[in-house]
Copies of this chain bind each other. A is one copy, B any other.
Amino acid sequence: MVSTESVPRSKRRATSPKSVNRRAQLLTIAAELFSTRGYVQTTTRDIGDAAGILSGSLYHHFGSKEAMLDEILRDLMGGLHSAFAEIVERTTGPRATLEGLIRCAFAVIHDSPHAVALYQNESALLAHLPGFSYVAETSNDIAVIWLDVLAAGRQEGVFRDDLEPGVTYRLIRDSVWGSVRWYKPDGRLGHEVVAEHYLAMLFGGLLAA
């Protein structure tokens, strides 16, 4: 997700490496603090302390604390949207697509737990912060993608007819993303296992045959 792709290894040394790394380091630190303590509860001093610099020095890299939040969320939302869009293109059939989306979501939670937690936990804040409307907007775009899959599956008779896609989507979404609060990236329960568990339950139902 933070990709360090095709930059010629040789040229790497020159301008960016240190500064780019520093920014990324700081963002990682900030994301973790934001997600565990909450954005407002996290002081710039907390971030500075965790990074080993003074809080004022953060402003050499970022315009404000809010700018850090913005960068974290923008990365997440952008990556999320394109990842989902790609899955829709790559798969055939609503069931396969939905499986792909769900597996992808759990993978993202595994890779960027802090950013996702931030997005999950700070909804109240984000709704009121000017300049963060793109979060809700991308959220909506993503909802459209998932909804289309659910609606198509119902249309095609793959998904049950008595379940309303709008409600179904929300219920699925909350199960999936809510897992960020209990999933441990380095625990014994891998994200693929959790995904498989959820898919089994979602598709087959809780009841024994």
The answer to whether A158 and B207 touch across the interface, beta carbons within 8 angstroms, is yes
Whole-angstrom CA separation of A175 from B173 in the bound complex: 8
Cα distance A201–B174 in the bound complex, in angstroms: 14
Cβ 8 A contact of A41, one of B40, B160, B164, B206: B40
12 new A-B contacts, CB < 8 A, other than A35-B124, A163-B201, A174-B178, are: A95-B207, A157-B208, A158-B207, A159-B206, A160-B208, A160-B209, A164-B197, A168-B197, A171-B175, A171-B198, A203-B205, A203-B207
| 18 residue pairs bridging A and B, Cβ less than 8 Å apart | A37-B124, A121-B124, A158-B208, A160-B204, A162-B200, A163-B197, A163-B200, A163-B201, A168-B206, A171-B175, A171-B197, A172-B175, A174-B174, A174-B179, A174-B181, A175-B178, A202-B205, A203-B205
